């Protein structure tokens, strides 16, 4: 089997942007429905992989 090295060994830490002091006040209130699942995230590292598997010589499109 062929082994492919990872694209990056960097550890990425994502932090959401800070909210302004007073928050948003313009616009109008809306009712929002969301489809979500509760998730328990373990402590430690989280790995995310993207894969693209296709026949040799074929282009995706």
Which DSSP string corresponds to 4-53? Answer: ---S--------PPPPPTT---SS------------PPPSS---------
Per-residue pLDDT of the chain (61 residues; tens, 9 = 90+): 677 776 666 777 778 787 767 666 777 888 989 888 888 877 888 788 888 888 877 776 6
57 in helix, strand or coil? Answer: coil
pLDDT of residue 9: 67
In this structure, the number of other CB atoms found within 10 A of the CB of residue 49 comes to 5
pLDDT of residue 7: 67
């Amino acid at each position: 089997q062929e082994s492919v090295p990872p694209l990056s060994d960097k550890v990425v830490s994502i932090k959401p942007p800070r909210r302004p002091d007073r928050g948003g006040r313009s616009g109008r209130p809306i009712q929002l429905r969301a489809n979500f699942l509760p998730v328990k995230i373990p402590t430690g590292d989280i790995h995310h992989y993207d894969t693209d598997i296709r026949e040799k010589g074929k282009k995706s499109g």
